[in-house]
């Protein structure tokens, strides 16, 4: 409350300080942070998608291992900006050990997964999807278990959040196994995918629809088309900034698929193209195993050799540093000289007289 002794300047200063304090309190209470982890095929377009969704007009560079960037979005005029942390795993399935790094017990409540699958490589599709999702789920399940052991109430709350993407009254609620984190599956390079035989495209579309629905995930196909970019941005921004996601649905296998989580059904997807002998075999225990068996019969899996293709970052031009590279070259030469001298020493010892 102003005092009678305050002059006009004192009153103005006091009013500005009061407004600043109010705005700071509002910003702290309304600002949110979310994390989105991009995994998927090597060279599948993960970096390009992140740049597109963060409005960065720059050429994508190969992802070395695990990379981080962030984006900001304002909710409205004079409101604090929400922050999205974007993580990207490079190397396809070769760096599964790095998956636990960005996912922690502190951020798991606001964490999402984006799985990018290269539609132009159908023979690598299931292998990539299965290995990345299994490794991610194993780590997430461990975190949830640890939370439950230390705080049963927090653990129960975390478990309740699983499957929230599927409506409670959905007819398939008891038949699916939702992924423990919000999941978006992106089929990239749709323009190349269109060149495949129509029947093969149909099988790939049905398979990915089943996988996405089974895990309670959203599914979208994308290419260089501006139309595809808009739908993709809507779904990614929903995970990153909590914005309303598109309710547009497209299930025609002759067009890019767009199916937000919870808007598909097993009845609409239909059964896999299985023969009677496939259905009678007793080693298939779950619907997921049946779809995998049928898919890999049509598209035999190929060894991706991800681990063999990892490049030495010290020789990558984008990380060049003149002084460091010169020192590295000198040390490499010293190492080679040491190896040659050591080899000569061992040979001389082997050829020398033996003592009893």
Task: Give the Cα separation of 133 and 216 in Å (integer).
Answer: 13
pLDDT tens per residue across span 102-117? 999 999 989 999 999 9
Work out the average pLDDT over 274-288: 72
43: left (phi over 0), alpha (psi -120 to 50) or beta: left
> What pLDDT, on the 0 to 100 scale, is given for residue 25?
47
> What pLDDT, on the 0 to 100 scale, is given for residue 355?
47
Residue with tokens 């290995």: 131
Q: What percent of the chain has pLDDT over 70?
A: 74
**Looking at the predicted structure, is the pLDDT value of residue 59 above 90?**
no
Confidence category of residue 130, pLDDT binned at 50, 70, 90 = very high
113: left (phi over 0), alpha (psi -120 to 50) or beta: beta
Task: Give the Cα separation of 132 and 188 in Å (integer).
Answer: 16
> What pLDDT, on the 0 to 100 scale, is given for residue 302?
80
Q: How many C-alpha atoms does 228 have within 13 Å on its Cβ side?
A: 17
What are the residue ranges of helices labelled H in the chain?
8-30, 46-53, 122-150, 152-161, 190-193, 198-214, 226-241, 266-269, 276-280, 287-298, 322-351
> What pLDDT, on the 0 to 100 scale, is given for residue 10?
60
114 by DSSP, 3-state: which?
strand
Q: Measuring CA to CA, which residue among 286, 85, 119, 92 is closest to residue 190? A: 119
Mean pLDDT of the chain: 82
> What pLDDT, on the 0 to 100 scale, is given for residue 185?
98
**Looking at the predicted structure, is the pLDDT value of residue 21 above 80?**
no
**Domains of the chain listed by start with CATH number:** 31-306 (3.40.50.300)
Work out the average pLDDT over 266-273: 92
> What pLDDT, on the 0 to 100 scale, is given for residue 138?
96
């Amino acid at each position: 409350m102003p005092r009678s002794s305050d002059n006009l300047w004192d009153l103005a200063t006091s009013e500005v300080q009061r407004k600043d304090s109010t705005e700071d309190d509002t910003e702290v209470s309304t600002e949110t942070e979310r994390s989105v982890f991009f995994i998927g095929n090597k060279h599948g377009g993960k970096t390009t998608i992140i740049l597109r969704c963060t409005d960065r007009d720059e050429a994508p560079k190969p992802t070395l291992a695990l990379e981080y960037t962030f984006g900001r979005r304002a909710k409205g005029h004079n409101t604090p900006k929400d922050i999205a942390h974007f993580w990207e795993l490079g190397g396809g399935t070769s760096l599964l050990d790095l998956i636990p790094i960005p996912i922690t017990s502190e951020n798991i409540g606001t964490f999402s997964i984006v799985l990018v699958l290269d539609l132009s490589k159908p023979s690598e599709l299931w292998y990539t999807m299965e290995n990345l999702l299994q490794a991610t789920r194993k780590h997430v399940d461990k975190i949830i278990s640890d939370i439950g052991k230390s705080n049963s109430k927090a653990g129960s709350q975390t478990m309740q959040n699983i499957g929230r993407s599927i409506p409670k009254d959905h007819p398939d609620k008891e038949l699916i196994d939702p992924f423990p984190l919000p999941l978006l599956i992106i089929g990239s390079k749709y323009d190349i995918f269109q060149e495949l035989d129509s029947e093969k495209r149909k099988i790939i579309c049905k398979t990915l629809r089943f996988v996405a629905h089974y895990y309670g995930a959203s599914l979208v196909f994308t290419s260089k088309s501006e139309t595809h970019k808009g739908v993709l941005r809507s779904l990614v921004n929903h995970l990153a900034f909590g914005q309303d996601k598109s309710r547009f649905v497209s299930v025609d296998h002759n067009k890019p698929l767009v199916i937000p989580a919870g808007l598909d059904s097993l009845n609409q997807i239909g059964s896999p193209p299985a023969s009677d002998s496939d259905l009678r075999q007793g080693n298939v225990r779950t619907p997921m195993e049946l779809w995998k068996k049928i898919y890999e019969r049509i598209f035999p899996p190929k060894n991706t050799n991800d681990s063999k293709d990892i490049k030495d970052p010290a020789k990558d031009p984008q990380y060049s540093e003149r002084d460091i590279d010169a020192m590295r070259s000198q040390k490499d030469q010293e190492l080679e000289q040491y190896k040659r001298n050591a080899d000569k020493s061992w040979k001389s010892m082997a050829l020398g007289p033996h003592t009893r």
